[in-house]
Amino acid sequence: MQPDITNTSTANVPLNLMVVGTEGNSGIWSPVFDKWGNLGNVGGWTLKMITKDPAGKVYCVGTEGNVGIWNGSSWENKGNMGGWTLKMLVWDSKGDLWGVGTEGNTGKWDDKNKKWNNLGNLGGWTLKMLAFDTKGTMWGVGTEGNVGTWIDKDNKWNRLGNLGGWTLKMLAFNKEIIKKDDKQTVVETMWCVGTESNVGCWDGVTSWDNRGYIGGWTMNWLYFL
């Protein structure tokens, strides 16, 4: 997929979107100015990704595969957590921590013993990243930009291939609560970064709505606050 490099549209950008650009810099969307609030290399770190734990603490993975926890003014460097150099971290709906190592292997954190349970190349896949939707389903993006959903009872991936014809860097899920007539409805949308560093939003059926280079940025990571 070759994205429209002229597409820098800022229409319908989620207001809770935080991103990591291809230079390792971070940005938060500013609807007032219709552009990214460029936070630069926060705390002096160039980042691979950023996320929060279930308690709301902000975590990152730096470009050296090390982990940081934000203390309000700087990153508390946890180094190579559990002896691993990491691509990314994610918490599932049960509050368990998962990681993908730089060799594409999967780990589940053993908090009692402060180590990773190495699950190897889960389901035979070398991974770029993992994500969990609001139903608790685990999604994986393989090193070829392919996508799968994990079937726990069968211990294998449901292979979705190059979803929507795109090769991907990563997936993220945005949960919005819509209030109408004293009722609340939870709406989930799936987003991605393609290997061309462009952003896409899943149409819910068969294809990605190509948002291109939102605000002129090329992306590595999306996180919904």
Rounded to two decimals, what is the model's pTM?
A: 0.92
C-alpha span between 107 and 65 (Å, rounded): 14
Band (pLDDT 50/70/90 cuts) for residue 10 is low
Q: What is the pLDDT of residue 7?
A: 54
Sign of CA dihedral 188, 203, 128, 118: positive
Over residues 156-165, mean pLDDT: 98
Q: Could you give the CA distance from residue 107 to residue 170 in angstroms, rounded to a whole number?
A: 18
What are the distances in angstroms from CA 206 to CA 45, 150, 187, 220? 37, 19, 18, 23
How far apart CA 52 and CA 1 sit, in angstroms, is 31
**What φ, ψ does residue 143 adopt, rounded to 5°?**
-70, -10
77 within some domain: yes
| CA–CA distances in Å: residue 38 to residues 33, 41, 42, 94, 217 | 12, 9, 10, 33, 10
What is the band of 181 on the pLDDT scale with cuts at 50, 70, 90?
A: confident
Task: Say if residue 102 is exposed, middle or buried (CB neighbours under 10 Å; 0-12, 13-18, 19+).
Answer: middle
Within a domain: 87: yes
Average pLDDT rounded to a whole number, residues 50-72:
97
**What mean pLDDT is reported for the chain?**
94
Question: Please, what sign has the CA dihedral across residues 48, 13, 204, 94?
Answer: positive
Parallel, antiparallel, or unpaired: how do β-strands 168-180 and 147-151 relate? unpaired
> Within a domain: residue 1?
no
Question: Among 38, 81, 83, 37, which Cα is nearest to 60's?
Answer: 81
Confidence of residue 134 (pLDDT cuts 50, 70, 90): very high
Residue 80 has pLDDT above 80, yes or no: yes
Look at residue 7 and tell me if it is in a domain. no
Which range among 7-11, 22-26, 139-143, 215-219 shows the weakest confidence by mean pLDDT?
7-11
Q: What share of the chain is helix, strand, coil (3-state, %, to 5)?
A: 5, 55, 40
Residue 168 lies in domain:
17-224
Q: Is residue 4 part of a domain?
A: no
1 pLDDT more than 70: no
d(CA 135, CA 157): 17
pLDDT for 5: 47
Nearest to 131 by CA among 115, 148, 144: 148
Band of residue 148 on the pLDDT scale cut at 50, 70, 90: very high
Q: How many domains does the chain have?
A: 1
On whether residue 96 sits in a domain, the answer given is yes
Q: Which tokens in the block code for residue 148?
A: 């799968």
Q: Is the predicted pLDDT of residue 202 greater than 80, yes or no?
A: yes
Rounded distance between C-alpha atoms, residue 63 and residue 53, angstroms:
20
Instruction: Take residue 219 and report the two structure tokens written for it.
Output: 């992306």
Q: What is the CATH number of the domain that holds 180?
A: 2.120.10.80
d(CA 152, CA 138): 9
